[in-house]
Structure 1
Amino acid sequence: MPEGPDETVVVIGAGMGGLAAAIRLAAAGLRVSIVEARQSPGGKLRQVPAGPAWLDAGPTVLTMRWVFDDLLSVCGTSLADEISLTRATTLARHVWRGGQSLDLFADVAESRRAIADFAGRREGEGFSRFAADSARIFTLLKDTFIDATRPNPLSLSARIGLMRPGALLALRPFSTLWSALSTYFADERLRQLFGRYATYCGSSPFDAPATLMLVAHVEQAGVWIVEGGMQALALRLAEIAEGLGVTFHYGERVSAILKDSAGQSVAGVRCASGRVLPASEVIFNGDAAALPGLLGRPAARPPAPPSLSALVACTLTAPEPGPLAHHTVHFSDDYRGEFEAIFKRGEPPADPTVYLCAPDRTAAGARRADAAADTPERLYALMNMPANGDRHSYDESEIDRCLSAMESRLSANGSALRFDRSRMTVTAPDGYSRLFPATGGALYGMASHGWAASFRRPGARTGLKGLYLAGGSIHPGPGVPMAALSGKIAAASLMADRRSDGPSSRVAISGGMPMRSATAAPLP
């Protein structure tokens, strides 16, 4: 179709979902502009200073490499051709009180041996069953849910096969992750370890569905370390998008999504500077909670509690001879109490589990060859927090208490690490609330609590013609590869609607009010 100025697609936000959508649209020949409030791409893939050094302050793990190979195939390239990757043979180190330590490996048999040595033969056998079942769940959901348009329970059942009740039951939709783990592991430390996968989508293992077992298989299929940090992935994707003709407008915050005179279709966006960008379609790559404000509506009550927030400290530390790998998790003594503090009382846990990423270490924990042994090393430290940043300000004394609580847990677990507060950048829930408006600091959209949580996430299509959604709060969910898949789904939906341009795929009009199609998600 002929393209004039109004045929440009505007993408709001240069996060992973927005970049993925823009690349796919531009590769298909559409004119695309990305409007980004900050001065660089990446969204949550950002870096901050720690003294003279810089390090990632957002996601630190790259999985599901096939998502990015699929994305870049439309440009005739692959992820390995564009950035430097190292596959981690050690997935993570896990540490408990007194220095009890367990490494998980990319090789399932090696992990089984490690677990058997750590907790006994029966726990190793339990891991074998767990690994097989997590792979089965992932296989069932990959094409029917993860890499597909947003289903409802009935359509998901149809995709899997209504005549396959065994397959549906294998998903354990009505069991919590914690209760399911007790059928594999008697050792509570192992339930902690694998229950932590619920936090990958900002949820409690005591309330999240057992379906999240699939994360175990995702990690077994490959954890990758990106040379230069995770932001290097966003920077390279932005360069690829520019090479396809995508225009970036950095330092421009969108203040409104514009509609046509009838209020039935998207007409463009207005920036806080007053600049107007006309568009026939808009992809909003931001948290769904922020969308009503851009449409001139009051914020809607979220359909579920917000996900976890975090306190993240990026700092320098003296090289530690102790149990520090590239990814290290120090578990608290009372895992249930930790999540009750966050989700029920809305307060920082007194005894937090602490996740550490040491970018100057190899996966197994050795100092990188290019890192001098006697120089300070960069450290990313995270503890889970309530998403109350829109109503609670974290002052210096409260942040210091959280840092001290993390140091106490590290000490109890046999680590001598201490944070250098003079060379540190800390982001608390109120900081995340400012970075990502309308979230309260929630980093994963809504919490995935209960069997229906995944079906409550908005899909790509909305009730307004020409408006599409992408990002970690949108189907299929949070995480770098999932956000990229949301961009793929948004771009595919947009192009399909351009081809059909009919009421069944866009918006039907009844009594002058837009009515959602069967595939459209409600506007938040």
Structure 2
Amino acid sequence: MADAPSKTIVIGAGIGGLAVALRLAAAGQHVTVLERHGQVGGKMRTVPSAAGPVEAGPTVMTMRPVFEELFAAAGERLSDHVTLHPQSILARHWWSDGSSLDLHADAERSAAAIAEMSGPREAAAFTKMTRKARAMFEAFDAPMMQEPAPNQLALTKTVLANPALLGAMDPLRSMAGSLARQFRDPKLRQLFGRYATYVGGSPFRSPALLSLIWHAEASGVWVVEGGMHKLAEAIAALIRDRGGEIVLGQGVERLEYQDGTLRGVVCDDGTRMACDQVVFNGDPRALRTGLLGQASQNAVQDKACEPRSLSAFVWSFAAKPEGLPLVHHNVFFADTERAEFDALERGEMPTDATLYLCAQDRGDTAQPGGHERFEIIMNGAPAEGDTSQEFDTCQTQTFNRLARMGLHFDARPGPETLTTPSDFSRLFPGSAGSLYGRSPHGLTAGLKRPLARTTIPGLYLVGGGAHPGAGIPMATLSAKHAAAAILKDRTSTSPSRRTATRGGMSTA
């Protein structure tokens, strides 16, 4: 007989917490997920609207193999639990001069579209940039994203083994600086610079290395039928099917220790729950600031939590649109790129901001009639104070800009449809409103994120605030690292137990 299964409490039912719970439950461990909100998914959240649940968080699936591997770890197939629709148009981009550009899943079609808008020289630069992004992604996938504990030496060896990577990384320049060397058209610099915001950074301060994010999107974009929250619900169903428990509406006040050893958690209602280990699926800054008790403050270091990444103002509503042929993913660019990020750097709402718009009910060609569901995201500075007074300003700036660019709605959404940085701070305690954990600014920022193992034995981290970083695929990978660490640590520390046969011994 192997060792009896240990009990794990997972705090938070975001994608990281759900993914680690599924892996552990599939491995035969006892798992309980505690979620303070009334739905699973964390930042993959929805809010009600006249047209049904509308997304208020991530809207896109990239890096599909990460999710296929997660379901395979439970003996399942992703396609049996969610319906995915590949998007031939990755995104439609708009500028205030009336020009627009589609990027396609087919790289040759993207190059042709760029040639039509900006000329053959820029199309060639795009093709070259795409090759470099792919080379960087493939080179750093194993030693960085797939590695539970990456280190500078291993990454240096990767570059030394392939010197061409150094040119692709452009280590002495920011993403914006590197793009300025590659493209003459400022629109293309602005377009590909926005990928820094995918992980909460400014293209003017994020390393050029983050251009590899483009490869993740260029490799395929899928729409989850019914919305991204359906992915979270599918994982939750499998956890329960494997014997795991998910308790909604149950927050955690603090972690409980006995003789210096982690023994369980104390819930907001005073309930004490014993366990062998805890996985925290929240912003690591919550631990550092003592929100789960002073005894847990040293679990992570300050440099793993600070400085903070960007936040956002997020609209989620239903309305009737008119004026522009929208696809599922749309981007309306600011007139002056630098002005937006200078304002964010000062902690202010930008007056000239790029807007991302998800037309949730549209695919590549579908043009539904009547009320449709929309999510609009404008970058914001992190904030813990009250930003509700910014509603009028945000509404005016958002919908006036869209109107000037040709998109109108039959009615402007009200305050109940807007999530502000301070709202995110309340929804996700300890985050200071940041949506991506630690800032990605600086060439070695990725190595400063906390790993799955903390300094406290028995306490582990998952989620976008932990290694390998922000975003749904990365948070899902963090769960793979955490589950592997838990199972390995249990094996190495578990005592031998008696078997049913007299005299026999067995270890896990």
1:166 pairs, out of 159, 164, 172, with 164
Residue of structure 2 aligned with 1:456, choices 448, 459, 463: 448
Which residue type is aligned with residue 167 of structure 1?
L
Asked if the contact 1:157/1:168 (under 8 Å) is kept, the reply is no
Aligned residue pair count: 487
Cα distance in 2 for partners of 1:295, 1:139 equals: 41
Rounded Cα–Cα distance in structure 1 between residues aligned with 2:234 and 2:253:
28
Matched, 1:348 2:356: no
Change (3 A) 1:150 1:173: farther
Instruction: Give the partner amino acid of 1:114.
Output: A
Cα distance in 1 for residues equivalent to 2:328 and 2:224: 12
1:280 aligns with 2:276: yes
Partner SS for 2:254: strand
| 2:396 counterpart of 1:395 | no
Quote the Cα distance in structure 2 between the aligned partners of 1:451 and 1:493: 27
Q: Which residue of 1 aligns with 2:438?
A: 446
Amino acid paired to 1:208 = S
Output the amino acid matched with 1:473. Answer: G
Match of 1:376 among 371, 378, 383: 371
Distance 2:16 2:374 in 1: 27
**Poorly superposed stretches of 4+, deviation over 6 Å:** none
Cα separation, partners in 2 of 1:150 and 1:171, compared to 1, 3 Å: farther
After superposition, the C-alpha distances for 1:300-345 in whole angstroms (9 at most, x for unaligned) are 75553211111111122223241422111000111111011012x1
* Pairwise CA distance, 1:150: 2.9
| TM-score calculated relative to the size of structure 2 | 0.92
CA distance in 1 between partners of 2:98 and 2:30 (Å): 56
Alignment of 1:103 onto 2:102: yes
Post-superposition offset of 1:48: 0.3
Please state how far the C-alpha of 1:27 moved relative to its aligned partner. Answer: 1.1
Q: Is the 8 A contact 2:112 2:123 kept in 1?
A: yes
* Structure 1 segment 108-123 matched on structure 2, within 5 A: 108-123=107-122
* 2-structure distance, mates of 1:432, 1:419: 25
Contact 1:351 1:406 in 2 (8 A): no
* Partner AA of 1:394 in structure 2: T
The aligned residue for residue 180 of structure 2 is 182
Please say if 1:426 is aligned against 2:424: no
The structural deviation recorded for 1:424 is 5.2
CA shift digits 1:136-165 (9 cap, x unpaired)? 01101111111221312123224x264444
Q: Deviations over 1:435-463 (max 9, x none)?
A: 00011110000110011111111011111
1:423 is displaced (CA, Å) by 8.8
Match of 1:405 in 2: 397
Amino acid at match of 2:336: D
1:20·1:71 contact (CA, 8 Å) conserved in 2? Answer: yes
Contact 1:26 1:241 (8 Å CA) reproduced: yes
Q: Residue type of the partner of 2:398?
A: M
The CA distance in 1 between the partners of 2:414 and 2:274, in whole Å, is 47
State the 1:52 CA deviation: 5.3
Q: What secondary structure does 1:97 align onto?
A: coil
Q: How far 1:412 sits from its partner (Å)?
A: 2.9
Q: Do 1:315 and 1:420's aligned partners in 2 also have CA atoms closer than 8 Å?
A: no
Aligned partner of residue 226 in structure 2, secondary structure: coil
- Residue equivalent to 1:492: 484
Give the conservation status (yes or no) of the 8 Å contact 2:143–2:154. Answer: no
Give the alignment partner of residue 206 of structure 1, picking from 204, 221, 224: 204
- Per the alignment, residue 144 of structure 1 pairs with 143
Match of 1:39 in 2: 38
Residue type at the aligned position of 1:272: D
TM-score by length of 1: 0.89
CA distance in structure 1 between the aligned counterparts of 2:405 and 2:51, rounded to whole angstroms: 29
Given residue 268 of structure 2, which amino acid in structure 1 is its aligned partner? Answer: A
1:269 is aligned to 2:269: no
How far did 1:422 drift? 4.6
Q: How far 1:50 sits from its partner (Å)?
A: 2.5
Q: Give the C-alpha shift of residue 13 in structure 1.
A: 0.7
Q: Answer yes or no: is the 8 Å Cα contact 2:51–2:371 preserved in 1.
A: no
Gapped runs of 5+ residues in structure 2? 495-508
Q: Is the 8 A contact 1:50 1:423 kept in 2?
A: no
1 CA distance for matches of 2:103 and 2:159?
34
Q: Which residue of 1 aligns with 2:339?
A: 337
- After the TM superposition, which of the residue ranges 242-251 and 168-177 deviates more from structure 2? 168-177
Q: Is the 8 A contact 1:68 1:78 kept in 2?
A: no
Compute the displacement of 1:296 (Å): 1.4
1:233 aligns with 2:235: no
Query: How far apart, CA to CA, are the structure 2 residues paired with 1:119 and 1:382?
Result: 27
* Structure 1 pair 291–363 and aligned structure 2 pair: CA distance change class (3 A): farther
The letter of the residue matching 1:399 is: F
The 8 Å contact of residues 133 and 168 in structure 2, kept in 1 or not, is answered as no
Amino acid at match of 2:178: A
